[in-house]
Chain A
């Protein structure tokens, strides 16, 4: 099981270590640093590294490395999932998962890690339960604590731990009872030079924010549940009901959580809302090239496409770019060679474009490859797959909750090859 955890920042300082069994010397991280050095980019550090006596399994999150040390045969996914859970918990508790936040709350961090893992076995990883055991820091509480001498640590048994619904804490009370669902769909796509789709799929999630008193039992049904054939569920969902009736039936955790995630991959269902006309060329034996891209709406279901940004990693030989946008603003970083164009909204009357010249290092051979364009956008009030919530019913409690569903479609990994 998980032996130890080291938190390492980007400059290679180990700023926190936690050992659940015996102490493993920090020097084990040298193997990690070695691998880090070899992988030019921080993102390219391999997640599983073997050393003579240990295995290091790491994740890279929010500019921090979470490096865990294991000694026996443990499922690596188990460890990686757990590390992500730790990062999620920090995010949840401190609002951000950063070195500063962790150092500011080191005692809570230590207490959390102690509660989350016992001798390498995961213990309490549900945020509802952790919050009962260890209260998240708030300014008010630290003031109160310093006056009254009380502490962050709850002294009750986390009742959820024992019930059959370990994800929900008991005794929840709200004056306003509300249940909100966000249907968020991201389009992952690769579009080739000619504009045809090489690969496209939709990664969807339904995130819920549930603030309901007592033990509400909810059922959520869809207009078109057939769309969902590849789904991952939060443990609270009753799988049998879904199998037989295609209804999501569950007792929700308290607060924010991800209810389901799903994938729609069949080509005809994945609409591509934007197109890009591009003309990027570098002349042989000359130190300049042309750059010209135009973005337009394609299958946008009549909604406005907004929040568009285009990011391009230009080839190394590009020295500078001299461009004119018809809309929005652009920046080019000559060090990282990243061109970022913040477009904003598309108005169909006047399509946004960005044109101009590219200055190349003189004498260098012209780049072999044309860069890929990475596109971000957002469409409010639309789930591009066509998924629609039909109704939400609540059983088990008497009050009448406020209910709401919001839809949004975004670009995920949306790449256009040129």
Chain B
């Protein structure tokens, strides 16, 4: 007799039948009926109509029947809230049952009934259960608090359950501790600012003890919680590491990976000279390798994490290359990840083995995998210089196989190899040219065309080759068209005599017959360049290209550091910080690696870690490259010059022009007087416009801009005036360049700006606006640019600011988004203002007040920083800080160290208290900050550093 019979009743009137059975007098029949109901529920049938009948069965001594009814209740209570109240009494009664199993069952089920009306009735029983004598009940109740919090957070806080839950961290039973941690972690996730898990050395000790004795799942919760702790010093970090390492031998891979996370994070604090550091590195390798012998799904997650770990600390796995060798029946997602890691681990020592493997993979069946393997060979060549030659010959062997997609991938990577080692392997070009006809993928075609254009002087029939591509110009993808255009222009500049016709043809195809603005604009640029100043054209088009970097796909270091803190989580699988993908982004706190305390030479710069700027919230709005080019072209319409070919002008005209002055000067090597025609756009602008002509050169967009801007952090205060930093480069604002800095003088903040017109057109009608920001900064007056700004003119002005604007918390806190308008367009940029411009003049606290406040602010709000290389004595430091409104409240000398107690106030009334420890003769200072809004600490620290170092 099996349960499958419950699935067979599908006839009409089923519900009625069940109803009758549920109300039967016979116990057995009742139970069977409930089973049928549950079975229907499991397969997604709606049996909610039976609610009252099922609830009637709840008062029973039969435990199985009770459990089944509970199952039903959990599923349907939500849809029948009024009915669900009927069940409350039974719950309350069951919570006092002498059998702890029933008490626990009742409290567990209660929490799963997600009905607001009911929850208040459940508080009393829950409170009792949290203090139950039986740990099984306590641990169940702990989870119930999390459930209740999910339904009604306010209620849980009002009833004081959170404090009870915190107390449970010190429970004598490790299982209860683990569940309390799990519940608190879940609650904390929806309340990022609350310090629910305030960890101190005592509670850490409790957790570490519980870690040894609780279940594997509990260990995961505890380890994840430990990872958020910031040890005081390297000694504490080491002792935690020592107690966590045994977890590396756990059979549960999630435990292992969480332990790896804790170790990777705390290792950051250990000095590399320490013996223990080396031991730890050795201990990390075997468990990571062992993860790879698990089921493929586990392998996949492990590999994604190992990918991060080898980027952060390649030394851990450098001898374990072989375990990443691919087996032919690995699932594809495992194969691709393994390949990635193989390349990351490739070095001179193991390159021979790696190449042999890659060559093997390149003959496999799976197309995606083969492609990636071929690319990997190219990446090896770029990464390990000594292997480049062997890689190239391997690629040539692969080209000989004539397998279509292999050949195409090989050509794409050979192009990259040329970029890395110019003038070394060009002998293979002939072989590549043989395969021209088989290329049908845009990327491969574009790569091949690039090669032909780049090395046109060495390929005898370059013009024929390119001409053959030109025939189907309009059927090609944009990528290929752009490449073809550039290649032919290159060819023309190299062999001007034979290819005039060709270049005219491609220019007219690109400018007249194409709908693609990118293509058209690039066409015009070239046309204009060639027609006006062919020498400049040569310089621009045939400019030396920057070598491509060794590893193009490395994760940016700050992001990597953040991701290391997320080992084992979804973030580590996606290689994105949670803020980039967790739904709603609610309460995502940036995590950062702890600073290394022991060694004075800091190899990494931990200060920068939390500033990780995910590309997701890129604030800058950059005009698309196309528009930019279009505008550049329009700019020079101002001065009347001998007709530049407008879109409307005829081909003939353009061509004549092109062949006229342009060609002559190209043939004659010395450019005489060409440069002084008033036609030429400023060189800077031209170079920029030609940027897209460089194949593969990343068009640096807002990201690099952001990084530029960070240099603007260290600006002036009081007497010190920092140099202005470029906030908005001309290429992003149609010729308008803005640089600036922030100042504070006698209580007023201002933004000192320098506007430069690098365009050819007069700029007028300036205006400025700020986005809402963390401290409500806003312009106190309109932007006054009195006269129109003519080309190449610069104007300096000071914009007074106030702090009464609307407030919105920004990330980072001191981010300011600015819009500047002129007669041409509106431009957006963002900048970081130094926090000390916000330090107000009446920021001095009296001593008593200081003492009381310092004690009053909880310890977890304290942040500690190191200010290095600042050889100031106490007096000088104090004076310097004073001039920037950081006031010394008291001074004390302890054991040869001077302690300055300081206070400052921000414009929005936030007080920050500081303790600055200075040791005479030691250039490092220690800064401890306490503030009720701990998020400002980082920025206050930066302000300190700026002030002290300038």
Contacts and interface: CB of A to CB of B under 8 A. Distances in A.
A77 B302 contact: yes
B136 A118 contact: no
Interface string A102-125: 011111111100100011011001
Given A152-B64, A233-B250, A107 B290 contact: no
A372 B364 CA distance: 10
A104 B186 contact: no
Given A15-B43, A59-B297, A265 B2 contact: no
B678 interface: no
Given A72-B582, A263-B289, A55 B570 contact: yes
A172 interface: no
Contacts of B258: 75
A345 interface: no
Interface in A391-418: 413, 415, 417
Contacts of A190: 325, 327
Interface in B130-148: 134-136, 140, 143-144, 146-147
Nearest to A242: B249
A55 B576 CA distance: 15
B787 interface: no
B363 interface: yes
Contacts of A55: 570
Interface in A1-51: 1, 14-23, 26, 39, 41, 43-44, 46-48, 50
Contact of B111 (A15, A119, A143, A368): A119
B293 interface: yes
A75 B568 contact: yes
Contacts of B232: none
Contacts of A243: 246
Contacts of A156: 101
Given A104-B2, A235-B216, A368-B401, A110 B179 contact: no
B42 A110 contact: yes
B916 interface: no
A185 interface: no
A114 B71 contact: yes
A410 B327 CA distance: 17
A37 to B, nearest CB: 15
A15 B401 CA distance: 48
Q: Is the interface of A mostly helix, strand, loop or mixed?
A: mixed
A230 B422 CA distance: 46
Given A75-B220, A151-B62, A157-B136, A188 B293 contact: yes
Interface string A273-310: 00000000000000000000000000000000000000
Interface stretch (B31-39, B622-630, B859-867): B31-39
Contacts of B150: 21
Contacts of B140: 118
Contact of B215 (A18, A108, A122): A122
Nearest to A79: B254
Interface string B1-45: 111101100000000000000000001100100010011001110
Contact of B6 (A80, A106, A121, A417): A106
B295 interface: yes
Interface string B239-256: 000000010011111101
B217 interface: yes
A107 B583 contact: no
A58 B298 CA distance: 10
Interface string A155-181: 111100110101000000000000000
A374 B329 contact: yes
A162 B173 contact: yes
Contacts of B298: 77, 80-81
Given A110-B71, A368-B363, A119 B146 contact: yes
B707 interface: no
Contacts, number: 250
Nearest to A133: B101
A263 B300 contact: no
Nearest to B252: A81
A320 interface: no
B186 A77 contact: no
Contacts of B573: 48, 76
B331 to A, nearest CB: 5
Contacts of A111: 67-68, 71
B271 interface: no
B3 A104 contact: yes
Nearest to B305: A77
Contacts of B35: 107
Contacts of B42: 16-18, 106, 109-110
A44 B337 CA distance: 13
A231 B249 contact: yes
A114 to B, nearest CB: 6
B253 A77 contact: yes
A258 interface: yes
A234 B136 CA distance: 23
Interface string A343-372: 000000000000000000000000011001
Given A75-B258, A233-B250, A203 B293 contact: yes
Given A76-B573, A103-B7, A119-B143, A125 B323 contact: no
B99 interface: yes
Given A48-B300, A114-B67, A265-B323, A103 B3 contact: yes
Contacts of B570: 48, 55, 73-76
Given A146-B1, A239-B246, A80 B301 contact: yes
Nearest to A231: B249
A410 B100 CA distance: 48
Contacts of B403: 368
A149 interface: yes
B182 interface: yes
B108 A75 contact: no
A232 interface: yes
A50 B581 CA distance: 10
Contacts of A258: 251
B453 interface: no
Contacts of B296: 43, 47
A142 interface: yes
A230 B296 CA distance: 20
A8 B250 CA distance: 30
Contacts of B246: 239-240, 243
A369 B363 contact: yes
Nearest to B62: A151
23 contacts: A16-B42, A17-B42, A19-B75, A20-B112, A22-B114, A47-B297, A73-B189, A76-B301, A77-B302, A80-B297, A107-B38, A109-B42, A110-B42, A143-B1, A156-B101, A158-B101, A199-B325, A230-B289, A235-B250, A368-B401, A369-B365, A372-B328, A415-B329
Interface of A: 1, 14-23, 26, 39, 41, 43-44, 46-48, 50, 53, 55, 57-60, 71-78, 80-82, 84, 100, 103-111, 114, 118-119, 121-122, 125-126, 142-143, 146, 149, 151-158, 161-162, 164, 166, 188, 190, 192, 198-199, 201, 203, 229-235, 239-240, 243, 258, 261, 263, 265, 313, 315-316, 368-369, 372, 374, 413, 415, 417
- Top 4 closest A-B pairs, CB basis? A151-B64, A230-B286, A104-B2, A47-B297
Interface of B: 1-4, 6-7, 27-28, 31, 35, 38-39, 42-44, 62-65, 67-68, 71, 75, 78, 99-101, 108, 111-112, 114, 134-136, 140, 143-144, 146-147, 150, 173-175, 179, 182-183, 186, 189, 213, 215-217, 220, 224, 246, 249-254, 256-258, 286-287, 289-290, 293, 295-298, 300-302, 322-323, 325, 327-329, 331-333, 353, 356-357, 360, 363-365, 401, 403, 568-571, 573-574, 578, 581-583
Given A149-B28, A369-B364, 14 more contacts: A19-B75, A75-B258, A77-B302, A106-B4, A110-B38, A121-B179, A151-B31, A153-B67, A155-B63, A155-B99, A198-B322, A258-B251, A263-B289, A265-B323
